Amino acid sequence: MKLQRNTKQRQLIYSIISNRHDHPTAEQIYLEAKSKNAKISRSTVYRNLNILVSQGKIIQTKLLTTDRFEAVAKEHYHFVCSKCDAVFDAPIDYNQTLNNSLAEKTGFVVLKHRLIFEGICSECLKKADN
């Protein structure tokens, strides 16, 4: 396996993801990186996102139609707003018993599960009330 240098661009991209809690898309990460380093290219951002995922430093999650990125965290669920596409961490505990229950009933080895709640976020509800 080829050793990857930890470049300034990669450090910038990792910093952006670590400091955001809105599960940004690759394009959002690129735009923020571009505002901090005008010379960074879109391909550099995408390449470094792939490297960071393969190194296990960030998580790439397909939420509905878009890949989103976040810093490595404990297992958790997501809520996606169907109006504005915002993504939030759902403030409920990860339910390990779902894995165990499926394993017992099927004989499968269940490593983890994903659960995505869909609905309308509080900001969109406020806008609808006005």
Task: CATH number of the domain at 1, please.
Answer: 1.10.10.10
Pick the last residue of a domain from 36, 56, 73: 73
Per-residue three-class SS string for 33-66? HHHHCCCCCHHHHHHHHHHHHHCCCEEEEEECCE
Number of neighbouring beta carbons within 10 Å of residue 12 = 19
Q: Is the pLDDT of residue 1 over 60?
A: no
Number of structural domains found in the chain: 2
pTM comes to: 0.80
Same domain, 2 and 61: yes
Indicate the pLDDT class of residue 20, thresholds 50, 70 and 90. very high
Same domain, 56 and 116: no
Same domain, 19 and 69: yes
Q: Which domain covers residue 5, as residue numbers?
A: 1-73
Same domain, 84 and 114: yes
